[in-house]
Structure 1
Amino acid sequence: MPRTWGVAAAALIAGAGYGAWLWFGWGGPALTRVVDDVGLAVFALVAACCVAWAALSLRGPDRVAWVFMAAGLVGWTAGEVIWSYYDLVVGDAPSPSWADAGYVLFLVGAGMCLIVQLTAAPPTTQLRVVIDGLIVAAAIFAAVWVIWLRTVYVARHSDVLSVAVNLVYPVTDIALVTVAGLMVLRAPGARRDQLSLLFAGLVGVGVSDVAFAYISATDSYRGNRTLAVGWAMGFLLIAAAAVQAKRVGAQGAGAQSPAVSGWLPYVPVLLSAVLCTPVLVDGMGPVFVAVAVIVFAVTVRQVVLIGENRRLRADIAASRADAGTPPILTELEHAVEHGDLRLVYQPQYDLFTEDIIGVEALVRWPHPRRGLLNPDQFLPLVNQRTLMTKLTTAVVDLALADAAVWHASGFPIPVAVNVFAPTVSDPALSIGIDDALRRHGLAPKALTVEITEDRLLADMPGTRSALDHLRVSGIQVALDDFGSGYSALWYLRDFPVDQVKLDREFIAPILTHGPSATIVRAVIEMTHALGLTPVAEGVESAQTAARLREYGCRVAQGFYFSRPVPGAEVLALLEAQRRERVLAPGHH
């Protein structure tokens, strides 16, 4: 945090110095004019370089988002260079001009940056941000129209193109600032700093855009150059946001969305109503459109909230009906809805090549009071199908987000996710998996669904059909903890699976217990005969790994190879593995 705000402070000081030069007019009007135009181009170019540099070190959606921002800043720099030519050489700038093409490119780049980051959030968060964005943006637009933009329209209403160009900046800025602000409120803790800096930067740019549209319409721009400080400081803060994103990467603990996110959207609605009432009396105009959008969005928002509250009440009622279910389930559902769960991964190794060929995702819950909870501390409590599906969908989304980073880095390994057997046949889970694969740009083979055998009895036909659907789509299916139930062989006969994971209770004693060794060897041979892949769990020594190799088992996982690690450490292990292979004798 200190480093983040140190960068932000440096950006503010640089922008303040630039603003002071313009305010006091040091060197006279001619020099101030040059400092204004050339300085802005330099600020934008420096910001573009910083953002591009940060983007190169990121992976997946984060890299794509900041590449869009860098492209937008390059566009703004080009627009400012053209504007400087008009202002310093020609002596007058037409409106609109070719410079506007570059400026608009920044708005497009910034918008795509926010969209890409938003698509990485859970679907419920996306919906709430969009609805709240409509409410807040429409309310802010109505207020800004009354205070400033109506003057722009009245002054230039006869020139449609000029009005459109002058209004596109403040209107788009309002949308960008609104979405960025709402994303800050709903962001996980580690990402909140970078989004706060990005929000502040967009506010700076937006304020200057609105002011420029107003003073241009009133022909008062000449000699009024201090508004350039908003652009300069905005670009520097955006650069600081990218640098913070590079430093944090995909790491960081989660944080619950503050309660303010529930009522904040109504604050601008109230202010807008106070400011717009006189205008509504005199004449409706564009304000009427804004008010209509507000009413519509507020109505939709309330419908969504009512639906969420009904589902929550139903879950609570079901929870109370079961005397053994503690209230921690309500907290768990809140954590699922707000993206507060975290994943670690246990690598799966090829016993013959010693390469990492896959990982298993293991969920963790950073509880605000109880600390970091392991799966066995809360998963046994999840006995409601609705919450099971929500939890599984959230875990799949988190796992595929990390997998997208590995794939983008040249490591197309699959990630395995444990799925509650009763939820396999739930259409909502299938939709959630398909949506997550699409959003993260991954093929179905990037995901393996693991089902625990002792939970397959509830809906046999539905489960079999769902597993068939998964395998046909390209998703692999693994039977987890094989041997922990009483119908294991029957499952192998009747359920379509690709992998069989041997339970650690069988693997642990194979060096000292003859019957266990015989059973494990027989299961491995049987699995091969069925055309399936055996995976040994709980391997904790080199001797156990060697014995499994003798039995013909190719894939294993356990503390001997690696403890469960965060996604970034998986990437580091893969990169180290690649370096070792490059340095190995005989490599070409």
Structure 2
Amino acid sequence: MPRTRGVAAGALSVGAAYGAWLWFGWGGPTVIRVLDDVGLAVFALIAGCCAAWATCSLRGPDRTAWAFMAAGLFGWAAGEAVWSYYNLVVGGVASPSLADAGFLLFLVGAGLCLIVMLAATPPGTQLRVVIDGVIVAAAIFGAVWVIWLGAVYAARGSDVLSVTMALVYPVTDIALVTIAGLMLSRSSAVRRGQMALLTAGLSGIAFSDVAFAYLTATGTYDDQHHLAAGWATGFLLIAAAAVRARQTGSEGADAPSAPVSGWLPYVPVLLSAVLCTPVLIAGMGPVFVAVAVIVIAVTIRQFVILGENRKLRADIAGRADAGPPPILVELRQAIEHGELRVVYQPQYDLFTEEIIGAEALVRWPHPRRGLLSPDQFLPLVNETGLMTSLTTAVLDLALRDAAVWHSKGFEIPVAVNVFAPVVSDPALSANIAEALRRHGLAPQALAVEITEDRLLADLPGTRSALERLRTSGIQVALDDFGSGYSALWYLRDFPVDQVKLDREFIAPILTHGPSATIVRAVIEMTHALGHTPVAEGVESAEIADRLRQYGCRVAQGFYFSRPMPADEMLALLEEQRRQRADARASLT
């Protein structure tokens, strides 16, 4: 998967080159006018196609969100096409015009996209984002009014419709950028890339909208076509965000707030206060309204924080007598009614680039909280009797899908995480053997992954259980190697077939010397012990190439593929088989 910074740099470079062409007027006035008008329609159309492409592969709220964005982008492209017709053929464009319908559709589509994304987050997050959004948007509005929009209002104050159309774009843009930026500050690591690109894209469009409104209102526009670079760059960044969203899917939709989210709203407040103070002294105009809204919203925000703190203290005080958390009850019902889902992340041979296995990852489609990943509910059940039922349910789902693949001729093993305290359960081997028999699979069709921080509770029992699994023909993998303690001791004394290097070591090997040294040493040591090293969290071709140089053969990560449902995994295997057949046919 391409890095977000690289994609953003590419979009900015293309936008800068486009702006430079317009700025220097290469080709003459006629060419520049066509390049400005038609070029922007093409950029918006490209972004719309990318958003529509993402819509086809996403599910749930993300699918709906990007569908709205695609509709808005196609609307903007249509509006620009109308504008181009009037400007290039008719010879002039009235304001407002029919083109504004398309431009306004983009604002609506982008707004609905962000609303749907926000609605998929927990209610507490939604409230904080809305309140912070009011604070930031009001602060930015006050600052932008002082710098630009006040002049627009003064120039068109006698024409209500003209003022409305001149201000609706920049004011709505401010709201969109604000919400996107606040959602970015609360995004998980997986989703942060697409939200950063989306926020940057909306910011580029907002800059050009505000500048265009100011220059046309003050009569100083004079065909400054280079302003189109902001729109073009914005559309390219949104296109990149759509592609990134398609690659990452719905993973990590919910995450704890980043530390920056606590103080971020106060940065524009400070900036607005510095810029607006002279205006307030001179006369209480619209800026006074913005400042008043800021004060009220900040006050409400503090009350919300106090309420959350009181609720947290009450929850801690009453937890001992509260019984099992509601989520445990809901999870038990989900297991009993077969409501859990499993997605699969392919494991690739780095030298042949073929799929040689798949890791099963459990997901819980919660009716209110959306799609939950294991780290959002496993910590609550890690020490309860529910863990055995959960492990059994996931194992059964994974083997059922693996049986379908094997029936189609794809005899790749499926790796399943066996959760603590099930690892040392003497009945583990018998339960797995029964599940394999029920689905008509050989032991070689299954790999059991054990996380090293779960091995300390019952060392003798765990060692015996792993030996029984390996004796029966089932592979054993030591997962997240390096994330816990005594890892070398585990390699010496525990019977394992694979050692999966934790993504925290893999990610920085191109830029952090000690990490690279550790990864190379662990790979060499793993080979020397007769185990197979597996790299997790590979997110770029450069990291994959470096791992090949180190001798690591097996890898998985978003560079190769996002986790996907069983049917998509089967389609990927079939596509790989077709490509191999075509390659063999071309050689004969």
TM-score tier, shorter chain, comes to: 0.5 to 0.7
C-alpha distance after superposition, 1:444-478 (max 9, x if no partner) = xxxxxxx99x999xxxxxxxxxxxxxxxxxxxxxx
| 3-state SS in 2 of match to 1:18 | helix
More displaced stretch, 181-190 vs 384-393:
384-393
| 3-state SS in 2 of match to 1:187 | coil
How far residue 279 of structure 1 moved from its aligned partner, in angstroms, is 1.9
Q: 1:388 aligns with which of 325, 332, 350?
A: 325
| 3-state SS in 2 of match to 1:541 | helix
The aligned residue for residue 457 of structure 2 is none
The aligned residue for residue 45 of structure 1 is 45
Q: Which runs of 5+ in 1 are unaligned?
A: 319-381, 407-414, 419-432, 441-450, 457-478, 483-503, 513-537, 548-558, 581-588
The aligned residue for residue 566 of structure 2 is 572
TM-score (norm 1): 0.60
How far residue 96 of structure 1 moved from its aligned partner, in angstroms, is 0.6
C-alpha distance after superposition, 1:304-333 (max 9, x if no partner) = 101112233445567xxxxxxxxxxxxxxx
**Partner amino acid, structure 1, of 2:15:** G
The aligned residue for residue 258 of structure 1 is 258
The aligned residue for residue 109 of structure 1 is 109
How far residue 277 of structure 1 moved from its aligned partner, in angstroms, is 1.8
The aligned residue for residue 277 of structure 2 is 277
- Distance of aligned partners of 1:508 and 1:281 in 2 relative to their CA distance in 1, 3 Å threshold: same
The aligned residue for residue 23 of structure 2 is 23
C-alpha distance after superposition, 1:548-572 (max 9, x if no partner) = xxxxxxxxxxx99999x99975722
The aligned residue for residue 354 of structure 1 is none
1:19, 1:228 within 8 Å by CA — same for their partners in 2? yes
Structure 2 CA distance for aligned equivalents of residues 393 and 122 of structure 1? 17
How far residue 541 of structure 1 moved from its aligned partner, in angstroms, is 2.4
Structure 2 CA distance for aligned equivalents of residues 33 and 481 of structure 1? 64
Is 1:540 equivalent to 2:433 in the alignment?
Answer: yes
**Partner amino acid, structure 1, of 2:13:** I
Structure 2 CA distance for aligned equivalents of residues 211 and 396 of structure 1? 56
2:121, 2:254 within 8 Å by CA — same for their partners in 1? no
The aligned residue for residue 290 of structure 2 is 290
TM-score (norm 2): 0.60
Structure 2 CA distance for aligned equivalents of residues 103 and 152 of structure 1? 19
- Distance of aligned partners of 1:151 and 1:541 in 2 relative to their CA distance in 1, 3 Å threshold: same
| 3-state SS in 2 of match to 1:222 | coil
Structure 2 CA distance for aligned equivalents of residues 163 and 261 of structure 1? 34
Structure 2 CA distance for aligned equivalents of residues 481 and 10 of structure 1? 44
1:143, 1:275 within 8 Å by CA — same for their partners in 2? yes
- Distance of aligned partners of 1:575 and 1:511 in 2 relative to their CA distance in 1, 3 Å threshold: closer
Structure 1 CA distance for aligned equivalents of residues 74 and 85 of structure 2? 17
2:204, 2:233 within 8 Å by CA — same for their partners in 1? yes
C-alpha distance after superposition, 1:418-460 (max 9, x if no partner) = 9xxxxxxxxxxxxxx7744xx78xxxxxxxxxx99x999xxxx
1:321-336 equivalences under 5 Å are none
- Distance of aligned partners of 1:45 and 1:573 in 2 relative to their CA distance in 1, 3 Å threshold: closer
> What root-mean-square deviation, in Å, do the aligned CA atoms of Structure 1 and Structure 2 show?
4.5
Structure 1 CA distance for aligned equivalents of residues 236 and 566 of structure 2? 31
The aligned residue for residue 165 of structure 1 is 165
**Partner amino acid, structure 1, of 2:304:** V
2:340, 2:363 within 8 Å by CA — same for their partners in 1? no
- Distance of aligned partners of 1:269 and 1:84 in 2 relative to their CA distance in 1, 3 Å threshold: same
1:308-323 equivalences under 5 Å are 308-315=308-315
Instruction: Give the count of matched residue pairs.
Output: 405
The aligned residue for residue 202 of structure 1 is 202
**Partner amino acid, structure 2, of 1:111:** G
The aligned residue for residue 365 of structure 1 is none
How far residue 290 of structure 1 moved from its aligned partner, in angstroms, is 1.3
C-alpha distance after superposition, 1:20-79 (max 9, x if no partner) = 101111122222111111111111111111221122121121111111111111100111
- Distance of aligned partners of 1:4 and 1:304 in 2 relative to their CA distance in 1, 3 Å threshold: same
| 3-state SS in 2 of match to 1:95 | coil
- Distance of aligned partners of 1:235 and 1:577 in 2 relative to their CA distance in 1, 3 Å threshold: closer
Structure 2 CA distance for aligned equivalents of residues 543 and 198 of structure 1? 45
- Distance of aligned partners of 1:384 and 1:123 in 2 relative to their CA distance in 1, 3 Å threshold: farther
Structure 1 CA distance for aligned equivalents of residues 196 and 215 of structure 2? 29
Structure 1 CA distance for aligned equivalents of residues 22 and 198 of structure 2? 25
1:237-256 equivalences under 5 Å are 237-251=237-251, 256=256
How far residue 274 of structure 1 moved from its aligned partner, in angstroms, is 1.6
How far residue 278 of structure 1 moved from its aligned partner, in angstroms, is 2.1
1:395, 1:417 within 8 Å by CA — same for their partners in 2? no
Structure 1 CA distance for aligned equivalents of residues 260 and 100 of structure 2? 37
How far residue 2 of structure 1 moved from its aligned partner, in angstroms, is 4.2
